[in-house]
Structure 1
Amino acid sequence: MLQLGYFSQLENAQAYRESLTAVGIEAQVVAQGEPGLQYYQVISGSAEQPSHLENLNTHIEALSGARGYAVRSPFESTPAADLFTGLKPQYLLAQAAPPVGTEGAAPMRVSGYDPGLNRTPQEEIDSMPGFTVGGMPIIPTLGLSLGYDDNITRASRDEIESWFYMISPAIRVELPSDRSVLSLIAAADIVRYEDSPVDDRDTWYLRGDWTYDISQRQNLGLFAEYREGADRRGEGRRQGDAGLVPIDPDEWERFGYGGTWDYGAVGARGRLTIDAGAWDLEYTNNREGLTPDDPGTTALDRDWWYAGGTFFWRVAPKTSLLADYRYTDMNYKTAVDSDSEIHTWALGVTWEASARTTGRIQYGNQKRKFADPTKEDYNGPAWMASVTWRPRTYSLFTLQGTRSTQEPNGNGDYVLRQDITLSWLHDWNDRFGTHVDVGYGEDDYRPNGRTEDLFYWGVGGRYAFNQHFRFGASLNGYDRDSADPEFDYKRMVFLLTLEASF
């Protein structure tokens, strides 16, 4: 049979079935799972031969733009038919938390492989690791990595190279109910360098997410997060020659909370998303500067809050126009002359032309106004794009790009950053897959005139021994060309990883 959708709420599944019926597709809703933990399949069609089912799938895609997954009939009385006894959210092994400190780092982002690339939703659920205690799924994982970094401090001279290892334990707990799911995550990265112990670091991560289906038209999501991390030598205020000073990385604590409210039923012409939140960032060491003119990490302490929303207007079955607005109020605790207000608006389009192609593109304006009238404000273009293309179920291309202003971390008043990345993920068989990434970015530190070009590439692969063990290898390269030669660098990182779930 073909599964065209699955939902946590019966009302949403029924609404989706009605939208399919409206374009001439017969479908039905089937409940799966234990009472109180049920999910709902929207299924259509039946065929004995795979080729017949594929022809039906093509016909459904032509009518609705939706493409289904071939699944076992839920009416068969075999244990394999119990496809929805697990939780819907997918979990990536040893990736319970994103790497601390990598936010906004594209194209220098961490390269990774998506283990769910060539899985149906049922296969993803069936393959989820962990165990259940009192109705609560618990997913512990452990990642062990061995790597080599040939330029730890991203230096243009006197490069420091070293082997290193990383231990990444994580645990995720789900607390489901009839209309909501509470997810709790704890994770850590413990990194040790053989030849450069001053660069050793420990990062910790705690996060809670609560999603609640208020009604057929409304959904609410709340989160709270706490992190302890570090800006490594060569990052933040420690770029260039400052990264060669042999003192510990700049350590920090960050706490944040917020939420998102969605309004609009499945298939509705208009939808609205509103989000808001607040963050507090405080550094805990290196409070004194490296030189008399350096205020140290004290000048980087800040808190900020944000609010915004996106309105979607459907103009075709799988295409919507959008209007987006975001406001951010940035407040520094000691360097108050860096306080600013940021207004960002954009118009765009989002589409899901078929199961093979999806995307979101928006273009607009960003205005950053400083509280200090002597600082130069920014008022210029801002844009974001994300397009995915899946030529086969086992192959995925993703193109992403952004342009916006960022906090300078002591290097100027702000950074105007734009970047673009292209990635290709491919499953060669059920156990082995590869990834390739390339990226290019430009940073403009204003008003000091420092400009930089960064080229990034990465290749890697993974092999799944079984449901509980996965081996991976990757090689990543970076090349930064700066208007100031002090900030030029070339860097290559090799990594072997064993991921285990229990």
Structure 2
Amino acid sequence: MSQLTIGIALAGYGLSAVAAVEEPAHIDWGVVEVTPLAGLNIGYDDNVFRNGVTDGLKDKSSTVYELKASAEFKAQQGLNTYAATVAAKNKRFTSEQDADFTNIGLDANVHQELNSRNRLDVDLGIGNYHDEGSTVRGTIDLSAPEYTRTTGRLVYGFGGKEAMFRTELFGGYNKQDYKTSNGLAEGNDRKTTELGGTAFYRFMPKTDGLVEIKQCNLDYTGVNNAGYDITSYLVGLNWDATAKSTGYAKLGRRYRDSQVSGVDTEGYTGWEVGVSYLPLEHSLIQLSTARDYGLESDNPQDATFTQGTSTEVSWKHGWTSRISTRVEYRYTDEEVQSANGGALKDRTVNDFGVGVEWQLRRYATLGFSWNTIDRDEKALAAGQTPDGYSRNVYMLTAEMSL
């Protein structure tokens, strides 16, 4: 495994990340390795319901306690790996106890090297989760909407990794079924599916040209005509040019087909770019940007959707063998549109986070993080209500293994 791959694995967490044990120990159950982890976070959230409208929920703040536990079960046979992880999270708000929730989920992953030219990756998941920051019925019921999520993803690769030609076929599935309370669903049941394929042509060492076609489908099973299909035709590059840099860049056309009758197909130019750079063994910089349709309706009842650009940059640096920091920033600029493509609202989101981690022992890490979000909306059509807010979250974190 290259230094860059290891760096990306260590940095592969989002803006709300907590401290992570660097080398957790495991228990051997024959051919199966069991790795347990536990974490405790204590902090403060100054906008629990992520609300900026004066309706009784604006700027509700609270001390937050978060307890996490997980166990990974892993077996390996040659280049083939088989893993399953069960994880639970309990989150409590001292001043807004109605918003408390507990999530629990099970994920399974299989990587199968069938032979030198054929490989298969399968990911499956099921669990009970909550829409944190949302409420079931405004100020009447402050509980976080609860749902069961079922996910699956399959990637089949044909052709050697260093071959001139190779292809990948992929598919994904994500279904959310919301709990019913007082005869009403707590959210909008939805299902998303993805199918596609990518063809690679190696025209230089460590550099591939690519052509990708994929389709994403969104369906709200309880709301008529709320979903749509997004079909993308992309061309670009995929490179692992040096031991310090890897990335991809794709550019092409995206088309949206609405379930609403009488609405024509619309299209525009989109892209996907991702770059990882490891200037030092202990320092990783990552940049990604995409221009796409949002794969969720902004309001399923009137079939609105979003279209825009998101950009994220992060830097993780190890100052000593025990102390590391991270700085992350995400910017989103999108437009909320009606079913037929008319502009309704303009939305920008600035999301900034910093954190420091201290490796006390091989099995114990302490950390502190601060995350601030500013969401600004402007109405572009009559009758639209802007829904902006600001939010700050401060967390002290601790994670332990064996």
- For normalisation by structure 1, the TM-score amounts to 0.71
Deviations 1:227-270 (A, max 9, x none): 211113348xx8xxx75554211111111223111112132112
Deviation at residue 180 of structure 1 after TM alignment:
2.2
1:387 maps to what in 2? 275
1:405 maps to what in 2? 293
Distance 1:302 1:287, change over 3 A: farther
Q: Specify the code of the residue in structure 2 equivalent to 1:173.
A: F
Of residues 140, 148, 156, the one that matches 2:36 is: 140
Deviation at residue 443 of structure 1 after TM alignment:
2.6
Q: Specify the code of the residue in structure 2 equivalent to 1:141.
A: L
In 2, the alpha carbon distance for the partners of 1:286 and 1:307 equals 34
Distance 1:287 1:483, change over 3 A: farther
Q: Specify the code of the residue in structure 1 equivalent to 2:157.
A: D
| Aligned 8 A contact 2:272 2:290 in 1 | yes
Q: Specify the code of the residue in structure 1 equivalent to 2:178.
A: Y
3-state SS of 1:429 partner? coil
1:59 maps to what in 2? none
3-state SS of 1:313 partner? strand
Deviation at residue 133 of structure 1 after TM alignment:
1.4
In 1, the alpha carbon distance for the partners of 2:89 and 2:308 equals 28
Of residues 9, 16, 31, the one that matches 1:110 is: 16
Q: Specify the code of the residue in structure 2 equivalent to 1:279.
A: N
Richer in helix (by share)? 1
Deviation at residue 390 of structure 1 after TM alignment:
1.5
2:324 maps to what in 1? 433
Distance 1:395 1:112, change over 3 A: farther
Q: Specify the code of the residue in structure 2 equivalent to 1:438.
A: Y
The answer to which structure, 1 or 2, has the higher relative contact order (CA under 8 A, 6+ apart) is: 2
| Aligned 8 A contact 1:155 1:244 in 2 | no
Distance 1:359 1:322, change over 3 A: same
Q: Specify the code of the residue in structure 1 equivalent to 2:313.
A: L
Distance 1:385 1:68, change over 3 A: closer
Write out aligned runs for 1:94-493 (5 A).
Answer: 109-111=15-17, 127-156=23-52, 157=54, 158-234=58-134, 244-285=139-180, 297=186, 300-375=188-263, 377-406=265-294, 407-410=296-299, 412-447=303-338, 449-484=344-379, 486-493=386-393
Distance 1:369 1:217, change over 3 A: same
Q: Specify the code of the residue in structure 2 equivalent to 1:429.
A: T
In 2, the alpha carbon distance for the partners of 1:416 and 1:263 equals 34
Q: Specify the code of the residue in structure 2 equivalent to 1:453.
A: T
In 2, the alpha carbon distance for the partners of 1:213 and 1:347 equals 27
Deviation at residue 322 of structure 1 after TM alignment:
1.0
| Aligned 8 A contact 2:41 2:398 in 1 | yes
| Aligned 8 A contact 2:18 2:397 in 1 | no
1:49 maps to what in 2? none
2:382 maps to what in 1? none
Deviations 1:399-434 (A, max 9, x none): 111121121252652121421111110000110000
Distance 1:371 1:336, change over 3 A: same
3-state SS of 1:198 partner? helix
Distance 1:143 1:417, change over 3 A: farther
In 1, the alpha carbon distance for the partners of 2:266 and 2:79 equals 44
Deviation at residue 152 of structure 1 after TM alignment:
0.9
Deviations 1:68-90 (A, max 9, x none): 99xxxxxxxxxxxxxxxxxx9x9
Distance 1:245 1:487, change over 3 A: farther
Distance 1:286 1:262, change over 3 A: same
| Aligned 8 A contact 1:250 1:285 in 2 | no
Deviations 1:46-87 (A, max 9, x none): xxxxxxxxxxxxxxxxxxxxx899xxxxxxxxxxxxxxxxxx
Q: How many residues align?
A: 385
Deviation at residue 305 of structure 1 after TM alignment:
2.6
- For normalisation by structure 2, the TM-score amounts to 0.88
Deviation at residue 162 of structure 1 after TM alignment:
0.3
Deviation at residue 114 of structure 1 after TM alignment:
7.3
Percent of aligned pairs with the same residue? Answer: 21
In 1, the alpha carbon distance for the partners of 2:132 and 2:168 equals 36
| Aligned 8 A contact 1:165 1:193 in 2 | yes
Q: CA RMSD in A?
A: 2.7
Distance 1:333 1:463, change over 3 A: same
In 2, the alpha carbon distance for the partners of 1:463 and 1:193 equals 26
Deviations 1:166-200 (A, max 9, x none): 01100000122245221001001100000001111
| Aligned 8 A contact 1:114 1:425 in 2 | no
3-state SS of 2:306 partner? strand
In 1, the alpha carbon distance for the partners of 2:4 and 2:129 equals 42
Greater C-alpha radius of gyration: 1
Gaps of 5+ in 1: 7-66, 70-87, 99-105, 117-126, 290-295
In 1, the alpha carbon distance for the partners of 2:21 and 2:274 equals 20
In 2, the alpha carbon distance for the partners of 1:113 and 1:481 equals 30
In 2, the alpha carbon distance for the partners of 1:243 and 1:401 equals 34
| Aligned 8 A contact 2:298 2:336 in 1 | no
Deviation at residue 149 of structure 1 after TM alignment:
0.2
| Aligned 8 A contact 1:250 1:286 in 2 | no
Deviation at residue 382 of structure 1 after TM alignment:
2.0
